[in-house]
Structure 1
């Protein structure tokens, strides 16, 4: 039975490969998105942009709020091991 099911599912092998690659890309994107050091650098960039007038206080506040939310989520994920 194992040989038969292997032969029947053989045409799906490329699909499984594509799914695996997509999962790897997603995992890496999430690691980068929730990397605490990256988020801290982005917070520093926002502070610098605010200081030199590239962005106004309202825009800076919104960006900082989003980055802090990501940082909190990054810390939660790290504590939970994921």
Structure 2
């Protein structure tokens, strides 16, 4: 990059920096959302809440389905359970 182009593009440096930070945050959030270990932990917590009686059967099934769909999207089958019909 030449001196002239560097000077002309210098005002855009903060924009590029903010853009890079936003990309890094999106990548980190995406990795966390699709982390199979985290999803399994959320399933375990959901089961615990249901066993305590904090959730109705309908709420439990709805949330469980959502978490299992996320687990499928992450490319991992839940431990000890297969969603495919025999």
Question: TM-score, with normalisation over the residues of structure 1?
Answer: 0.84
Higher relative contact order (CA 8 A, sep 6+): 1
Match of 2:66 in 1: 66
Runs in 1 of length 4+ with deviation above 4 angstroms? none
Residues 50-80 of structure 1, C-alpha deviations (whole Å, 9 max, x = no match): 111000111111111111111111118xxxx
- 1:15 positional shift: 0.6
Unaligned 5+ segments in structure 1 are 77-82
Match of 1:38 in 2: 38
Unaligned 5+ segments in structure 2 are 77-86
* Bigger share in helix: 1
Aligned length: 76
- 1:35 positional shift: 0.5
